[in-house]
Structure formats: structure tokens, C-alpha cells
Amino acid sequence: MTRNGIHHVTAIAGSAQRNVDFYTRTLGLRLVKKTVNFDDPGAYHLYYGDAAGSPGTILTFFPWENAAPGRAGAGELQETSFRIPLSAIGYWTERLINFGVERTTRFGETVLTFRDPDGMRLALVGLPGIEAEAAWDNGEIPLENALRGFYGVSLMLERTEATGAILSDVFGFAEVAREGDTTRYQAEGTAIGGIVDLRAVGGFLPARLGRGSVHHLAFRAADDAAEAEMVRKLAANHGLHTTEQKDRNYFRSVYFREPGHVLFEIATDIPGFDVDEPAQTLGEALKLPQFLEPHRAAIEAHLPELV
């Protein structure tokens, strides 16, 4: 079975409560994990996705209440897009009216672009024939209009060749189309989270990380062996070295800076989000990795309350 494509996207937000409201209510995603940033336990790490938190549907945030706004530019992930049924374009145009929604056409597909409350660039891509796919029911958005996982991401890079070579050689993507300054790569056999667009923007100011910026982009590896093989190829064919593997409880990850300066991660599909709480109640309780459990009381006292 092919397991290529995007695993998750992680971005920076301001207010945690505002972030939860927008992604669970306005966009109708499921909060599948409420935990803390393992490297900065004073802040939440919030995961949104489909009912099960499947790879290819997961958008995660580090909400730092006082984060300064980011600045768009070269060397970052510019836009994250989700799949919606083509028939839902009208519904979402109306629903996102307060978020700067604009309708456009890319690669022959109807696309709605808009911003989240922190200025993060998002898009919905209308696709025919996906109405019957399973979707999370947030109790408000009619199921036939609900989001169906990631469509893809676009990266803004000074130069795109070396990054494209990694997508093709290591992550199972192939170049499938070009439009203007954008080259489209598609993961073979992957309907959800299978698109990466590389936009060449030589001469742009470099991006500055902050609220509304994407922190990193994670690609899927089926298991540890598949991840190790990707690490080997990165070193042997591209001269790139990753971090050691880090246990993120729900997946196991390595990180590296790709040639265009975007932080890439490789994350295993296993073990998944039901490893420490039942699938039925994902995201309801604050979950901590074992090494932080002794500090639970102090961590809980410090985190803002979420309703």
C-alpha cells in the first residue's frame, strides 16, 4: 500500500481559544488531540483533523498568546488547502465572508482563498465526486459540505529545483503540471494531502516566522523502516542530514531544513492518535507525554482554559 503525501502541517497561532473556535466551529474540523508543545510545555499543541486524525488531514498549532505576526516571504509554506465537494463552493463562499474569501481558478479547479484569524493563508479546493466520502460532523456544517482532509500545500521558494528533486526522489511525488511560476508535484496513489506546489519567487524578502506562519511541513512514512530509508536517501542523494528520531507519542519524527529553507519533518503513520485515549473522546482531555506527567499540576495551572 502506498503511503506517501503530507502527514501534517504545523503553524503558529495567537489565542488558543480563538484558534479552537475557528477550526472546530467555522471550518468544522475535529480537535483530535489537546496536548502541550513537548519542547515548550508552557504552551498548548492543538491537533485538528478528521474523525480519526488520519495522516493527510492533520493541521496542528502552537498557540502562543503574545506571538508577533509573521511576515510572508520566500522560504516558507505559503498556503494550506483542504478538499471540499465542488457543490459546496457556494456554501463556503457565504460562510467565510468575514475571512476575506476570494474565488479563483488554479490548474483548472475552483479554489476559495481566505485567512484564519491569525492571518494564516488557507484555501478550499472544490472537487467533483467526493460528496460521499466520510467527514467529521461538527453538529453545524451539513455533512455534504464538510472538509475532506488536505488537498495540498504551496511553498514559496527562491529556487525550486533542489526541493523538487527531494519530493520526487525521497517522498514519492512526481511533477505533474506547471502554471505560471508554480510547479505542481503529486504523490502517487494519494487522494488526500497529495499535492505540493512549488512557487519560484526569486528576489522576495525572506519570510519571518510568527503568528499566522507555518512552522513546518511533515511528510508521511508508513513506519520506522520507511522513515529510515528516507533518511538514508536524503543523505546519500542530497547531502542532507536529519535530526535523530524524536518520539512525538502519536508518531515518530525526524526533521531537516530543505534547500529552500522550509523546515521539513518525516512522521510515521503509526501509532496514531488513539494510542493514549479512546477514539470516541479524542481531544477532550489534556494529554501529556509520560516525561511531563509529574509536572501536570503546574502545566495545567499555567495553560489558558479552553471551552
Among 84, 265, 273, 287, indicate the residue that binds Zn ion (CB under 5 A): 265
Residue 57 interacts with Zn ion (CB under 5 A)?
no
Q: What cell was used for 42?
A: 508552557
Residue placing its CB nearer to Zn ion in the complex, 163 or 268: 268
Residue placing its CB nearer to Zn ion in the complex, 204 or 272: 272
> Min. distance of Cβ 3 from Zn ion in angstroms?
17
> Min. distance of Cβ 307 from Zn ion in angstroms?
26
Give the Cα-Cα-Cα angle 55, 219, 115 (nearest 5 degrees). Answer: 75
Residue placing its CB nearer to Zn ion in the complex, 10 or 78: 10
Strands 109-115 and 102-106: antiparallel
> Min. distance of Cβ 261 from Zn ion in angstroms?
17
Burial letters 152-181, b for 16+ CB under 10 A, else e: bbbbbbbebeebbebbeebbbbeeeeeeee
Residue placing its CB nearer to Zn ion in the complex, 227 or 265: 265
One-letter identity of residue 141: I
Kindly indicate which of the ranges 22-30, 222-230, 232-240, 257-265 contains the residues binding Zn ion, using the contact rule CB under 5 A: 257-265
| Ramachandran angles phi, psi of 91, nearest 5° | -55, -45
> Min. distance of Cβ 216 from Zn ion in angstroms?
6
Which H helix or E strand runs over 105? strand 102-106
Residue placing its CB nearer to Zn ion in the complex, 135 or 218: 218
Other C-beta atoms lying within 10 Å of the C-beta of residue 53 = 25
From residue 189 to residue 228, the character string flagging contacts with Zn ion as x (rule: CB under 5 A) and all else as - is: -----------------------------x----------
| Ramachandran angles phi, psi of 195, nearest 5° | -115, 130
| Ramachandran angles phi, psi of 184, nearest 5° | -100, 130
In the three-class reduction of DSSP (H, G, I as helix; E, B as strand; rest coil), residue 256 is classed as strand
CA distance 216 to 10: 5
> Min. distance of Cβ 284 from Zn ion in angstroms?
22
Residue 10 interacts with Zn ion (CB under 5 A)?
yes
> Min. distance of Cβ 89 from Zn ion in angstroms?
30
| Ramachandran angles phi, psi of 163, nearest 5° | -70, -45
Residue 254 interacts with Zn ion (CB under 5 A)?
no
Residue placing its CB nearer to Zn ion in the complex, 135 or 266: 266
Q: What cell was used for 125?
A: 479546493
> Min. distance of Cβ 43 from Zn ion in angstroms?
14
Residue placing its CB nearer to Zn ion in the complex, 58 or 157: 58
| C-beta of residue 251 within 8 angstroms of C-beta of residue 265 | no
> Min. distance of Cβ 244 from Zn ion in angstroms?
15
CA distance 95 to 97: 6
Kindly indicate which of the ranges 5-13, 104-112, 152-160, 280-288 contains the residues binding Zn ion, using the contact rule CB under 5 A: 5-13
Question: Binding-site residue total for Zn ion (CB under 5 A)?
Answer: 3
Residue placing its CB nearer to Zn ion in the complex, 79 or 265: 265
Kindly indicate which of the ranges 6-14, 151-159, 192-200, 231-239 contains the residues binding Zn ion, using the contact rule CB under 5 A: 6-14
> Min. distance of Cβ 136 from Zn ion in angstroms?
21
In Å, how far are 99, 162, 203, 260 from 206, measured between CA atoms? 25, 18, 9, 10
- Tell me which DSSP letter residue 22 carries: I
Residue placing its CB nearer to Zn ion in the complex, 101 or 218: 218
Give the footprint of Zn ion on this chain (CB under 5 A): 10, 218, 265
